[in-house]
Amino acid sequence: MCYDAEAQLKAQLKRAEREHQAPADVLYLKQIIQRLENYFHVSGFSHPTMAVYTAEQPLRPQPMRWGLIPHWTKSFEDAIKRWNNSLNCRAESMFEKASFRNLVYKTRCVIPVNAFYEHHHAQGKTFPYHISMKNDAVFYLGGLCAKWVDHQTNEVLDTFTIITTKGNELLAEIHNNPKMAEARMPLIIEEESIEQWLDPALKKEAIEALITSYPAEKMQAHTVRRLRGKFALGNVEAANAPFHYEELNTLL
């Protein structure tokens, strides 16, 4: 699964800033920056606002809340009930599940991150791992997004979910939750495939072809301090720093 991420502000804006920006684009980015935060560690359960790139504006980041709310959700109370259950979307069922099946074809998106976190289970405890690219490059998670209108207040919420797929060999070692049948990982979209992934004209077979487990040999991982509970550091730079647990014999 993917409930925790590192998404520094520079990473969230990289796709937009590397293009030659017209004055209007520069102004747009300055306005967007005011709505985004620098995340060394952020939990999806806090429903943070993050930069998301869509087919509508593939080079302009859209601030969206993590946790998808389908457009047909009737009330804010119903939205709250769904929020924590829609941080992720399983690739294997998204073409059939009511919350996602229409969005798969219309509103796919990518979310830039520096890393994501997963928990390893051992000796009755859980140990958080920080997982990133070996070259520490920014990478893009595949997702779905939806716009929801609270008809009681007319407030509009732009929301997203992260698609997950079968874990690769690295995640098979780390993500060993005994309650799950297999290891999972977020869908990672290669940078050169982003334009294709965002194309709203893409058919099911082409979408499925882009849903693969990212090669483990391109990734790296290390344990970090607790992400939750009284010993959690919170959203500070040290949250992503390597930390050794004596209970674990080896570090990946």
Q: pTM for this structure?
A: 0.94
Quickly list H helices, the chain: 9-17, 23-33, 76-83, 103-106, 169-174, 194-198, 204-209
Q: How far apart are the first and last CA of the chain?
A: 19
Tens digits of per-residue pLDDT, 196-230?
999 999 999 999 999 999 999 999 999 999 999 98
3-state helix, strand, coil in the chain (%, to 5): 25, 30, 40
Tens digits of per-residue pLDDT, 20-44?
566 667 788 888 899 999 999 999 9
Name the DSSP class of 11.
H
Q: Which domains does the chain carry?
A: 4-116+137-210 (3.90.1680.10)
| Nearest one of 87, 106, 48 to 186, comparing CA atoms | 87
